[in-house]
Amino acid sequence: MQINKITLLCLCFSIFAFGAEKNAERLIWEKLQEKMEQGISGKFRLTKSVAKISKEFVSQGVFSISKKDGIIWETEKPFSDKNVFPMKKLQEYFSGDFEELQKKFDLKLNKSELADTLSLFPKEKNVKKIIASATLLVKGDYLQSCKIVWANKDYAFYEFMVP
């Protein structure tokens, strides 16, 4: 299952641009950056929903993310596919600059004892025509899930299982 460019960009937000003011949100950002330095790998489950036909499609596989190798996304089920996204190319889109993120998205943070949720809502009209929102769920030091809702009400829900 190919990952489209917009989905990849939203996932990159969860890796490079998760954070906020200099408080608890900033700590989340720093933890995720530290994990990036160490490298992250695990399994994923992707559920794509197509609103017009009320149907969900599920795929599973493995991923690894490191500054050296970039993102390696390998779908195993329902069929095999491998995508490699070099870090240098990803950094052309994302600098990790939180101020830039705030210029492009309205942010809503919900904190609880169990997890932190950051929702991003695009400010630009052209982006709103494509993406309604992206919601990131962080438990402890790891991104647990990312849900991207498209303007047409379809969505992609990524769940990450990191050992």
25-41 pLDDT tens trace: 556 556 666 666 677 88
Helix 5-16 and helix 24-38: axis angle, to 10°? 110
CA distances, 115 to each of 25, 49, 139, 150 (Å)? 12, 24, 5, 24
* Ordered DSSP codes for 56-77: EEEEEEEEEEETTTEEEEEEEE
> Residue 45 contacts by C-beta under 8 Å, 6 or more apart in sequence?
58, 59, 60, 158, 159, 161
Domain boundaries, the chain: 5-161
Confidence of residue 87 (pLDDT cuts 50, 70, 90): confident
Q: How far apart are CA 153 and CA 39, in angstroms?
A: 33
Instruction: Put residue 122 in one of left, alpha, beta given phi > 0 → left and psi -120 to 50 → alpha.
Output: beta
89-143 pLDDT tens trace: 666 555 556 667 778 888 888 888 888 888 889 898 988 998 899 888 888 767 7
The predicted structure's pLDDT at residue 18: 42
Instruction: Put residue 160 in one of left, alpha, beta given phi > 0 → left and psi -120 to 50 → alpha.
Output: beta
Identify the CA nearest to 74 among candidates 61, 64, 91, 65. Answer: 61
pLDDT: which is higher, 59 or 37: 59
**CATH number, domain 5-161:** 2.50.20.10
Q: How far apart are CA 131 and CA 127, in angstroms?
A: 6
Locate 12 and state its tokens.
């990159």
Q: Give backbone dihedrals phi and psi of 11, rounded to 5 degrees, phi first.
A: -60, -35
